[in-house]
Amino acid sequence: MKIGGEDCRNLDRALSLEWLETNGRGGFASGTIAGANTRRYHALLLTARKPPSERFVLVNHLEEWLDIDGQAIPLSTNVYPGAVHPTGYEHCIEFSSDPWPTWTFDCNGMTIQRETLSIHGRDMVIVRWRLVGKKPTKAVLRVRPKLTGRDYHGTHHENGHLSMEAHVGSGMVMWHGYADLPPVRAFHSGAYRHEPTWYRHIQFPVEQQRGLDAEEDWWSPGEFTFELESGSTRTLALTSETIDQLDVVPLAKYEKSRRDILRQAAPADDSLAGELWCAADRYLSERGAGHTVVAGYPWFTDWGRDTFISLPGLCLVTGRLDVAWQVIGSFVAHVSEGMVPNRFPDAGEQPEYNTIDASLWFIHAIDRYLAASQDEVRVRETAWPAVKQILDSYRQGTRYGIRMEQDSLIRGGVPGAQLTWMDAKVGDWVVTPRHGKPVEIQALWIRALEVGETFARRFGEADYADRCQDDRRNAIVSFRKRFWYEQGGYLYDVIDGPEGDDASLRPNQLYAISLVDELVPRDRAQQILHLVEAQLLTPVGLRTLSPTDSRYRPRYEGDVLQRDGAYHQGTVWPFLLGSFVTAWIKVHGKNPSTLKQARSFLDGISAHVKEACCGQVSEIFDAEAPHHARGCYAQAWSVAEPLRVLVEDLGIRAHA
């Protein structure tokens, strides 16, 4: 993906376009095409001390100047109160994201390229500069690293506790600003001069828009100088690893080869499928001896619900079966009282279990994994006991009032808790509590009982299979009897809640069509899809509430209270396109006309991957045009669900 010079030199445009590099360990590097950090999360070296959690910003930025014939030309950009300095974006003539972020600058007729790449499996980022062109030229590049040493959610300010000392060796410099954080080692191919100083009042415009602390101070330990010559490359590698030597060349070759293999395997017949195929790699991270899914960048770690909604798209359709099993295994170890963790905290050991649906998505993902892998032995020995524990706990009752009632449907909810994916909470205010029997939970439960019956018969447990079959039949009868809202011609969003039945028109009912074939009769499914298309569908996803509802919020903006109040009250979520497209094809059939129409529902995502964070899909969008991207600039299920339907439902295949 390439961004031309006109966009690169348009400051507002260049500040709105972001890039992302990840290391497969929960750490990442990110920033804007303009070069300025506009978020507290933008950084060069951001590492996870306990992957993918306990993240810290160690190196925020590099300030770069090219000295040519006595003139200093900036390559970097920063935002200060009322000023932009330096203005390196003015010299940028192209940005490319493939195979990693690469800027090309025209400096008085001299062309220089800068590359930034994270190394998979390493807490390390490499920056390289090269003069381009056959004409013999020389220049001096000056680079000042800007450091903090803070939790990635926070901001950093000038203080007297930071150590400004440096350990200078041959081709390596080490700084250890704070004793409780790892030191930063810089391996370089130039010269280093130690000259500590503070850079104050850096501005983060995006944080200001979010109503958060939007200013911080960086310290710079010194300056690197590099003699540049045509065709030669100069490097600066920044790492928190405890190493004494580093050869950058083989690391960069390894990373280039790894990405080439990924790109070569991606579907070639559909550009969106190809982009999402490569984007999926960014969300897979180490956790202990296994793997997990990072829910979104820049501020999420791994969440159970997001992980198992995303697993088919990230791992199964892309052929990463071993990784899928490691993810499943990582969560099996944490099943408690029949519940999969909702999230692992940024710090600490105890996972949180406040979710009603993550455990059911977990069962769905295990079934999909077995279908893709035929890995019957491991599923039977490791995953099947966890599946039975979940089913039995939901039958008998577990945390937060989650239990199967006499009608074989699942109830859940206690005051102050938010258990479904619509989980916004501000202080004691639960915005969308959805206590009672939410529609998608019943679809997931009926789907889980189907998996339970299938597995039990496959593994020779006939009595357990019969029990699952009976519960499933009863649940389907109850669902059909209770969930149809005749007056509106669609499904209730929640029944048997504290205030009765909730007829809010929301997208959650789509799962009753996409997950279970016989749950909604075809004529009713057609009515639902017609209403959803008319009132909820947008070019970039589905609204979370009908615009005709008095609670509808068209914009996701303002402070925390305002944003969370809109989070599921109209705000558009692109991951919901997965259930919508699957349901659409199920109802209308797999004929050329239907498939063409279904593919058109993803056209807005095709355009979006060239916006916001290059090659990625944002978490959410405003409910009304022009549907500004909001929330996380890169979200796992926003990538995974469109990719899943492209491959599974629309038949896009990987490159031969």
pLDDT by residue (tens digit) across 573-600?
Answer: 999 999 999 999 999 999 999 999 999 9
Residue 244 clears pLDDT 90, i.e. is over it: yes
Cα separation of the two ends of the chain: 22
pLDDT band at 267 (very low <50, low <70, confident <90, very high): very high
Q: Of 14-18, 342-346, 637-641, which gets the smallest average pLDDT?
A: 342-346
Q: What is the mean pLDDT of the segment spanning 117-136?
A: 92
% of the chain surpassing 90 pLDDT: 94
- Which tens digits make up the pLDDT trace of 360-377? 999 999 999 999 999 999
* Order of strands, sheet of 437-438, starting from the edge strand that comes earlier in the sequence: 437-438, 494-497, 500-502
Cα 370 from Cα 299, distance rounded (Å)? 32
Domains of the chain: 2-259 (2.70.98), 266-649 (1.50.10.10)
- Which tens digits make up the pLDDT trace of 49-107? 999 999 999 999 999 999 998 899 999 999 999 999 999 999 999 999 999 999 999 99
- Which tens digits make up the pLDDT trace of 635-656? 999 999 999 999 999 999 887 5
- Quote the mean pLDDT of the chain: 96
Give the position of tokens 């569908």: 537
Q: What is the mean pLDDT of the segment spanning 260-273?
A: 95
Give the closest residue to 275 by CA, choosing from 607, 21, 651, 539: 607
Tokens, residue 37: 């950090």
235 DSSP β-pair partners: 128
Cα 113 from Cα 482, distance rounded (Å)? 63
User: Which stretches of 427-551 are assigned E, i.e. beta strand?
Assistant: 429-430, 437-438, 484-485, 490-491, 494-497, 500-502, 537-538, 541-543
Give the closest residue to 28 by CA, choosing from 282, 223, 228: 282
Give the pLDDT confidence score for residue 231 in this predicted structure: 85
% of the chain surpassing 70 pLDDT: 99
Give the position of tokens 């925390």: 560
- Which tens digits make up the pLDDT trace of 304-327? 999 999 999 999 999 999 999 999
pLDDT band at 348 (very low <50, low <70, confident <90, very high): low
Helix (H, G, I), strand (E, B) or coil at 209: helix
Cα 218 from Cα 221, distance rounded (Å)? 10
Tokens, residue 134: 């056959």
Quote the pTM value: 0.96
Cα 611 from Cα 13, distance rounded (Å)? 10
Cα 326 from Cα 298, distance rounded (Å)? 23
Cα 547 from Cα 537, distance rounded (Å)? 11
- Which tens digits make up the pLDDT trace of 414-434? 999 999 999 999 999 999 999
Residue 346 clears pLDDT 90, i.e. is over it: no
Q: What is the mean pLDDT of the segment spanning 452-464?
A: 98
Residue 622 region by backbone torsions, left for phi larger than 0, else alpha for psi between -120 and 50, else beta: beta
Q: What is the mean pLDDT of the segment spanning 235-250?
A: 97
